[in-house]
Amino acid sequence: MGLHESVSSWRWQGSGGAFRAAVGVLLLGLSLAQSVPPHTACPAAAAPQSVPQPQYQDMEKDVMGFLSGFVHSFLQTVQPNAFPKDLIMNIVQYPDQLLESKQGNLREFLVYDVGFLVCTAIGVLYIVLMPIVGFLLACCRCCGNCGGNMYQKQTSSTNCHRRSIYWTAFGTTAIILAGNVCMFMSNTDIKVSVEQSQVELNKSINNIHSYLTSVPQQIDKVVNESYRTVEEVSRNLDAIGPQLGKEIKAQFKGTLDPALSSVRLLDQETINTSLGLSQLNSSLTQLQSSMERLQDNFTAIKDRMLQTISNASCVGCINLKPELEELTLDTSITIPSLSEFESAMDEVNKTNLPSKIKEMEDYFDSIPQRVTNETKGIVQSSKQLLGNIKTQISQVTNDIPLSSLTDLMGSLDQVQSQIFKYTPEIERAEEIRWAVAVALCCAVLLVVVCYLLGLVLGPLGLSPKDDPTERSCTADCGGTFLMMGAGFSFLFSWLFMIVVTLLFLLGGNLYTLICRPWNNGQLLELLATPGITPWFDLRQSLGLKTNITIPDIYRDCKQNQPLWTTLHLYELINLDDLLNVSKYTEQIQQEFESTVITLPSVTLLSPELQKQLSSFSNKASNLDSTAVTEKMNKVSSINLNTTADKLDLLAAAHSNNGIKKELINEARDLRQIQADIETIIIPQLENLNSTIKSFRSIADQINGTVGEVLSNVGTAQDFLNTNTTKIVRTESRKFLDCQLGYFTVYADWANLTITQQVGRCGPVAGAVDSVDNILCSHLVDSLNAFWFSLGWCMIFFIPGIIFSMKLAKYYRRMKCSDAFDDHLIMNPIPRAQMKFT
């Protein structure tokens, strides 16, 4: 076998194609290694992790107050008009014409707010009339009128009137008490709302800050993933020799391994055959040595016997001479095909099969290093192009307007610092407001307490049959408390109505002009009107083709959409072009196509060696052991004891002692030779026969192994001659496509991440909803509940005054007595009759 250098060239080829941004790729749950076509030439790359999503603080849910339904229904009745969109647009868009059209705008505003004006007029009448009526009533009572006269006429229906007025006054007091309880509760709600509003506002700002901080981090994550992809491909290019060479060897392995295995088996069997041949030669040499020694002894004895028989003194010996002359002992033994087999064996041993096996293994083990050596230049140039890819992808951070987010974070920090700055003042103002509101609640409670004391003490100390002038102090105190409640009502009600009117105008208009249109979307429609928010022009600031309004942003953020769709960044950034690095990958492909790698051809077994192996196999199959078997049969048929017996008979018949002794000795020597044949030669022949049989089995295996070697090597040689170039070209294309496939997968992942994951603006909508929750669901609703409860009490102060003043006379001690007896019989007084003519 030999290695012959011949040029077998291949060219790197790969399928071209631009990187595509496929939105339909399912990123979550998929790894980069799974996305790459499954092949062992592609080392599994680390799966790109999803972009980090910040942890946001939980915001308080929108919960309506306990009086929100009543207040909203009342304000809907007071203000059923639609949201004055046109009026607000006219004021905002043409502020310079506000004075010129002041009367028209004022008229429209008055028409819109007619319900509030009517309620305000009622409140003003209440504010004006209550102190006047109270003053006149006080003056009238001082003059003894309007119930100021301490006299009560007793009639049969007095008790019924008293009970009716009592229960009516009790019901009115209960209603006022319920309103007062609602005042306390709404005041507490306002305090809690103010305290929570600061916390919720800080949460909203923190969430927005976290959101704005996370967007650059997410973009950096996308860019860093591109760096990791480039580094992964660079590492694979640096390891192109081991990786690609390993795959090329793997393609050869299925055909070459059986060939090499059969050659290794043949080498082992050749060694075993050499050992068997050595053992056979040793046995044969030992046998031949014994046979030669036996032959020498037999020849010497035969010569002596012939000499003794030929002696003239040996009477009757001449008859035995022909038999002795014909007596022979053939000790020669040969294996005709053994020398040919030994010659073939020597030729095979000279080829040194282990060195040939090692030579083939070294050849295929050198493929990775050869690939590495011949691709150094293209690897370096490709890595430079990979650096250009990194530069291009990093352009994403420059094209996306992240600086605006930084400016917005600065504004948020300023807002938060201002909140911290004014928080102590707000808390002090809230304490003052809460104290004033508690004072108002306590004042109303004072009236209720006076009424309740009157309602309790009056009936408790009253005896219906007692004379009005003799009523008990308890009953008189009850009546006094009722009058005190009425007096406090006159004293406080008009002042409280001022508070109700002011808070009604403030809270009611906040609800109808901000909260209600905010909840039904009309306020967002107003903000979407061109010219309303000239400071908010994303189209001009970002250079977009279409205009983006605040409602559009809010609607998208409410659905937790990414910035890509919310801000229409696809109009600003051509992401497909930015992530399309095909111009660099095409250059890499061209560089590889222009690179030629040569692999030397290999001859597994030379024709001469194959011919020697075939001859070796034939000689092994032709090994003949019949000569040994025939020799064993011949030796086994030798019987020298018969001749020895004849010599003994002849010696017994002799009288010559010398001749007799010689014949006896010669007969003994023949028997000794026969014994040596039986004890030495025949066992050695049997051992040789056994060795030949074992050797023959080994030789038979060689015949099959050589056939397998020639078949497998022939198949492997044909495979190498036919498919080497194809295998190298195919595996190299797979390797290159695999590396470029990393960028395709990354481009799909980056496109999907930027368009669907980066900057999900749900926290922005959550912050807006939080402001709505703080302003409307807490502050405005609580404020409206307070003035609604206070106004409720003020309205029922009027019947409370009337019924308490009427009821007080039934309990107070009168100065003038008025007796009434149901059994008193009145006799008519006769009248004078006049006659007319």
Give the contacts of 69 (CB within 8 A, at least 6 positions apart): none
The string over 67-85, giving b where at least 16 C-beta atoms fall within 10 Å of a residue's C-beta and e elsewhere, is bbebbbebbeebbeeebbe
Alpha carbon of 361 to those of 371, 373, 602, 608: distances in Å? 16, 19, 11, 21
pLDDT band at 816 (very low <50, low <70, confident <90, very high): low
Tokens 């103002």 correspond to 429
The kind and range of the H/E element at 596 are strand 596-598
Kindly state the average pLDDT of the residues 779-793. Answer: 91
Kindly state the average pLDDT of the residues 678-702. Answer: 76
Picking from 579, 674, 597, 682, the residue whose alpha carbon sits closest to that of residue 633 is 682
Predicted confidence (pLDDT) per residue in 394-420, tens digit: 776 666 666 666 677 777 778 778 878
CA 346, distance to chain mean position in Å, is: 69
- The answer to whether the CB of 487 falls within 8 A of the CB of 801 is no
pLDDT surpassing 50 at residue 250: yes
Q: What is the CA radius of gyration of the chain?
A: 63
Q: What CA–CA distance (Å, rounded) separates 213 from 218? A: 9
Tell me the sheet residues that pair with 151.
Answer: 816
The C-alpha angle 133, 134, 138, rounded to 5 degrees, equals: 115
The reported pLDDT for the residue numbered 402 is 64
The reported pLDDT for the residue numbered 786 is 92
Strand pairing category for 596-598 and 9-11: antiparallel
Where is pLDDT greater, at 498 or 391? 498
CA 577, distance to chain mean position in Å, is: 28
- The answer to whether the CB of 781 falls within 8 A of the CB of 65 is yes
- The answer to whether the CB of 239 falls within 8 A of the CB of 739 is no
Alpha carbon of 345 to those of 235, 272, 285, 299: distances in Å? 52, 12, 19, 38
Picking from 585, 582, 590, 743, the residue whose alpha carbon sits closest to that of residue 12 is 590
Percent helix, strand, coil in the chain, to 5, is: 75, 0, 25
What 8-state DSSP symbol labels residue 23?
T
In the numeric block, which tokens belong to residue 315? 């009477």
Q: Within 13 Å, how many C-alpha atoms sit on residue 661's CB side?
A: 2
**Amino acid (1-letter code) at residue 673:** I
Own/partner long-range contacts of 199-202 (Cβ < 8 Å, ≥24 apart): 200/59, 200/60, 200/770, 200/773, 200/774, 201/419, 201/770, 201/771, 201/774, 202/416, 202/419
Picking from 620, 621, 624, 690, the residue whose alpha carbon sits closest to that of residue 341 is 620
Q: Terminal CA-to-CA distance of the chain, rounded, Å?
A: 181
**Amino acid (1-letter code) at residue 587:** Q
Q: What CA–CA distance (Å, rounded) separates 411 from 208? A: 11
Q: What CA–CA distance (Å, rounded) separates 512 from 274? A: 112
CA 398, distance to chain mean position in Å, is: 28
Q: What CA–CA distance (Å, rounded) separates 288 from 269? A: 28
pLDDT band at 299 (very low <50, low <70, confident <90, very high): confident
The C-alpha angle 622, 626, 631, rounded to 5 degrees, equals: 145
- The answer to whether the CB of 468 falls within 8 A of the CB of 796 is no
What 8-state DSSP symbol labels residue 394?
T
pLDDT band at 13 (very low <50, low <70, confident <90, very high): very low
pLDDT surpassing 70 at residue 810: yes
The kind and range of the H/E element at 9 are strand 9-11
In order, the DSSP letters of 641-681 are HHHHHHHHHHHHT---HHHHHHHHHHHHHHHHHHHHIIIII
The reported pLDDT for the residue numbered 24 is 29
The C-alpha angle 204, 208, 211, rounded to 5 degrees, equals: 140
Please count the other Cβ atoms lying within 10 Å of the Cβ belonging to residue 731.
23
In the numeric block, which tokens belong to residue 194? 């103010």
Collapsing DSSP to helix, strand or coil, 11 comes out as strand
Q: What CA–CA distance (Å, rounded) separates 34 from 42? A: 11
Q: Within 13 Å, how many C-alpha atoms sit on residue 216's CB side?
A: 13
pLDDT surpassing 50 at residue 564: yes
pLDDT surpassing 60 at residue 16: no
Tell me the sheet residues that pair with 597.
Answer: 10
In the numeric block, which tokens belong to residue 734? 């797979």
CA 333, distance to chain mean position in Å, is: 86
Q: What CA–CA distance (Å, rounded) separates 239 from 340? A: 53
CA 575, distance to chain mean position in Å, is: 24
What 8-state DSSP symbol labels residue 42?
S
In the numeric block, which tokens belong to residue 638? 């030798």
pLDDT surpassing 70 at residue 157: no
Collapsing DSSP to helix, strand or coil, 330 comes out as coil
The reported pLDDT for the residue numbered 593 is 62
In the numeric block, which tokens belong to residue 225? 């993933």
Phi and psi at 471, nearest 5°, equal -65, 150
Predicted confidence (pLDDT) per residue in 736-758, tens digit: 777 777 777 777 787 888 888 88
Q: What is the pTM of this model?
A: 0.64
Kindly state the average pLDDT of the residues 792-811. Answer: 87
Q: What CA–CA distance (Å, rounded) separates 405 from 524? A: 23
Alpha carbon of 160 to those of 155, 166, 317, 682, 808: distances in Å? 10, 10, 190, 159, 15
**Amino acid (1-letter code) at residue 43:** P
What 8-state DSSP symbol labels residue 604?
S
Kindly state the average pLDDT of the residues 818-829. Answer: 45
Where is pLDDT greater, at 544 or 236? 236
pLDDT surpassing 60 at residue 3: no
The reported pLDDT for the residue numbered 835 is 41
Q: What CA–CA distance (Å, rounded) separates 292 from 272? A: 30
Predicted confidence (pLDDT) per residue in 415-469, tens digit: 778 878 888 888 898 899 999 999 999 999 999 999 999 888 888 877 766 666 6
